[in-house]
Amino acid sequence: MWPYLLVAPTVLGAALLLGYPLVRNLVISFQHFGMGELIRGGAIGAGFGNYQEVLKDPEFWRVVRRTLLWTLVNVVLILGLG
């Protein structure tokens, strides 16, 4: 039990440092959120509208393809060059 008590503060700190921003960004992603809402608060809900807008954008899909190609090339080169 003692080792778990020694590790607990680090695990708790890491969970807070990683978990809070993740949850906060997830909440913001479902809102109409801009600079004004950042300063004064009171953002209104957008539902899945933000995600629908991004998924309809052709630039998003160009970036996804470019990222996948970049990843594939890097993996092949790293495995090939060992």
Assess whether 42 and 74 both reside in one domain.
no
Q: Which domain holds residue 59?
A: 49-82
Higher per-residue pLDDT: 61 or 35: 61
What's the mean pLDDT in 7-30? 95
Assess whether 7 and 22 both reside in one domain.
yes
Assess whether 9 and 42 both reside in one domain.
yes
Q: Is the pLDDT of residue 16 over 90?
A: yes
Give how many domains the chain has, as a whole number: 2
Assess whether 4 and 36 both reside in one domain.
yes
Reduced to 3 DSSP states, what percent helix, strand and coil does the chain have, rounded to the nearest 5? 80, 5, 15
Total-model pTM: 0.69
> DSSP states of 31-82 as a string?
EE--HHHHHH--PEE-TTHHHHHHHH-HHHHHHHHHHHHHHHHHHHHHHHH-
Residues 34 and 50: their CA atoms lie apart, in Å, by 12
Assess whether 62 and 26 both reside in one domain.
no
Q: Give the lowest-confidence range in 6-10, 14-18, 33-37.
A: 33-37
Assess whether 11 and 43 both reside in one domain.
yes
Q: 27, 61, 25: which is closest to 47 by C-alpha?
A: 27
